[in-house]
Structure 1
Amino acid sequence: MPTDLPTLVATHDRVAELDRLGDEIAELSAHLDAATARLLALIREFDARGGWNTGFRSCAAWLSWRVGLDLGAARERVRVARALGTLPLLAQALARGELSYAKVRALTRVATPETEERLLGVGRAGTAAHVERIVRGWRQV
């Protein structure tokens, strides 16, 4: 059975190009997560210093107005930012691009300084959907 060498080469080149694109997507996602960590640190400081208290009801209301987030999304950002202030391992993992914001957001719903290390392991091992399921179960315990 003859091998169609041009087809094999084209297939190999296509796979290599798609692998490169996948790597670039993953790298950029890690950079975005690192930038999100910085953003959350700034939100936490702004909130703690009362920077929003210039006619706004809350930091979330200010954030919604200032950067155009939906109010619910702004509330969630402020909640996560505050939580990360007491969860340095999760904050560092996000800053290094090791965990996605989706995973960190879920984990901060249940993490405490005492459970943070164990939950960090869950975040590293599972998909975002898996982490959400673990968090839902964790909350029921």
Structure 2
Amino acid sequence: MFDASGQVPGENGGGDADGGATHMGRSWREIDQRMRRLAARRAALDVEEARLLVLAKRAEIHRHLGYGSFGEYIERVLGYAPNTGRDRVRVAEELERLPAIAEAWERGEVSYSVVREITRIATPDNEQTLLEYVDGLTVREVEEAMRGRKKGDDPNERPDPDLEPRIVRMELPPATYALFLDARRHLERETGQMMSDAEFMAVACRAVLGGVPAEGAVPAEGAVPVDGTAPAEGPVPANVPPHQIAIVVCDDCKRGWQDTPGRSVELPPATIERMRCDAVELGPVDGDAGSLLRASRTIPPHI
């Protein structure tokens, strides 16, 4: 990319001291211009991607291509991590009703990082005020300015410290992490949309504290009755758990994985053995229909 002198390829060094200084002046100015053009092109690509994300989600393109969720489609096709993908989709959907911010972004007046932050509180009524407020601010300054605010707030007014997000960091073992991803996927499927961290935690905590499943909850995808038939509609029998998770165990190496949205999480041997203490074993599932065994429980149901 650079030669030994640090010059951009295609540029010649100056002769005397004055000529060298003049050349270096042209060099850094040209680099700056190219960087700004690159930023403008990136903004245009981001805007086009946002429009396509909205169309792709509405068309449920992930179903046509065999992906388990729209989040998995984004992760595999665009290379975004789950949280990044959720933010991109949220921003894209918000911009449908925020034309001033969308146009400023398309013109390259604001970056995606700024748009991501201001759309958290932007409405059609305050979007122009927000654009004026963040003009000239760095991304970090915008992040600080948006904390403690809710939808529709005037950025010139004092923020509410009670609204400032609290950061929660957790280290989870593989089995618990897989359960976390499964639970999130289940709720997103029920609500029909990707959920933010705050939305997921609110629904999950309310379900636990209320002592009942989340409103509209149904057995997790892949849950099967003991006889291996398709799940029946109506109340779940008392001897069948309302939710089940699928664990795939290799017959040869005895390693096991729990499938979650967009990935498979390997579980420790001790966790697999503990799960097998009370499980429904389906037998081989990768052969033809004639080789499939009848599902059986490791603990017989009580009489």
With normalisation by structure 1, the TM-score equals 0.84
In structure 1, distance between residues paired with 2:149 and 2:21:
45
Alignment of 1:35-74 (within 5 A): 35-54=45-64, 56=67, 58-74=69-85
Instruction: Give 1:114's aligned residue.
Output: 125
SS of residue paired to 1:99: coil
Quick check: 1:18 aligned with 2:21?
Answer: no
CA shift for structure 1 position 116: 0.5
CA shift for structure 1 position 57: 5.3
SS of residue paired to 1:97: coil
CA shift for structure 1 position 19: 1.2
Q: How large is the Cα RMSD of the aligned pairs?
A: 1.9
SS of residue paired to 2:121: coil
Q: Give the aligned residue type for 2:45.
A: A
Q: Give the aligned residue type for 1:108.
A: T
Instruction: Give 1:124's aligned residue.
Output: 135
Structure 2 unmatched ranges of 5 or more: 1-15, 151-158, 161-303
Matched residues, number: 136
Call closer, same or farther: CA 1:57–1:108 in 2, change over 3 Å. farther
Taking only the aligned residue pairs, the percentage that are identical comes to 28
Q: Give the aligned residue type for 2:52.
A: L
CA shift for structure 1 position 78: 0.7
Instruction: Give 1:28's aligned residue.
Output: 38
In structure 2, distance between residues paired with 1:46 and 1:129:
31
In structure 2, distance between residues paired with 1:128 and 1:26:
17
Q: Which has the higher strand share?
A: 2
- Return the structure number with greater relative CO, CA threshold 8 A, min gap 6: 1
CA shift for structure 1 position 96: 1.6
In structure 2, distance between residues paired with 1:110 and 1:53:
32
Is the Cα–Cα contact under 8 Å of residues 104 and 123 in structure 1 kept in the other structure?
A: no
Call closer, same or farther: CA 1:123–1:34 in 2, change over 3 Å. farther
CA shift for structure 1 position 68: 2.3
With normalisation by structure 2, the TM-score equals 0.42
Structure 1 unmatched ranges of 5 or more: 1-5
Q: Give the aligned residue type for 1:83.
A: E
Larger Cα-atom Rg: 2
Q: Which has the higher helix share?
A: 1
Deviations 1:15-65 (A, max 9, x none): 221011011101111111111001001101221333234554543232112
Is the Cα–Cα contact under 8 Å of residues 30 and 100 in structure 1 kept in the other structure?
A: no
